[in-house]
Amino acid sequence: MAISSSVFEELLFRGVLFLSLESWLGSWVALAVSSLVFGLTHLMNPEGTLEGALFIAVEAGVLLGAAFMLTRRLWLSIGFHLAWNYTQSAIFSGIVSGNEAQPGLIRSTVTGPDLLTGGKFGVESSLLALLLCTTTGIVMAVMAARRGQVVPPVWKRKARETAPS
């Protein structure tokens, strides 16, 4: 599950949607829209909630989209996605994005307030994941901008091309 979902979702959301949007609307709009669509698709999961979908849109959408912006390749976003899903399910027997928990290497029991544990949606719907993943994504987005990896919208590119030197 971890391999197929991470490869398929990254090909779809970063490789197709992000790049398609970026070619017209620029990197920042592509990041925002692809992150939102990515998060909202998780509403289809068995225990999917609007809160969980929005948490994923912000934390994972920004993290994975910024990883793609920084490297301009899918390997880092696929790797992050795969490691996240695999660690939660196959190692810690945790819930991944509102799906049924699968038996993993360690049989963990997570208790505490839903704000810290993510409740029935899983740790992705927790404040801890939101802070950690979003912060990492913002750092990578800033790095991408500093390295000149941010694509402006098409109308700004045309203005640059026609401006006198």
Looking at residues 13-36, what average pLDDT do you find?
98
Model pLDDT, residue 4: 85
Query: DSSP letter string over 125-140?
Result: GSHHHHHHHHHHHHHH
Given a cut of 80, is residue 17 above it in pLDDT? yes
- Residue 164 inside a domain? The answer is no
As for how many domains the chain has, the answer is 1
- Regarding pTM above 0.85, the answer is yes
CA dist list (Å): 114 to 47, 53, 56, 99, 122: 14, 15, 15, 16, 9
Distance CA 57, CA 34 (A): 8
Q: Count the Cβ atoms, other than its own, within 10 Å of residue 8.
A: 12
Q: Which residue has the tokens 């719907």?
A: 125
Domain membership flag for residue 44: yes
Whether 163 is covered by a domain: the verdict is no
- Spatial contact of 4 and 29, defined as CB atoms under 8 Å apart: no
pLDDT recorded at residue 56: 92
Check residue 32 and give its pLDDT: 98
Q: Quote helix, strand, coil % in the chain, to nearest 5.
A: 75, 0, 25
Q: Which domain holds residue 99?
A: 2-157
* Residue at 162 is within a domain: no
Place of tokens 């620029």: 26
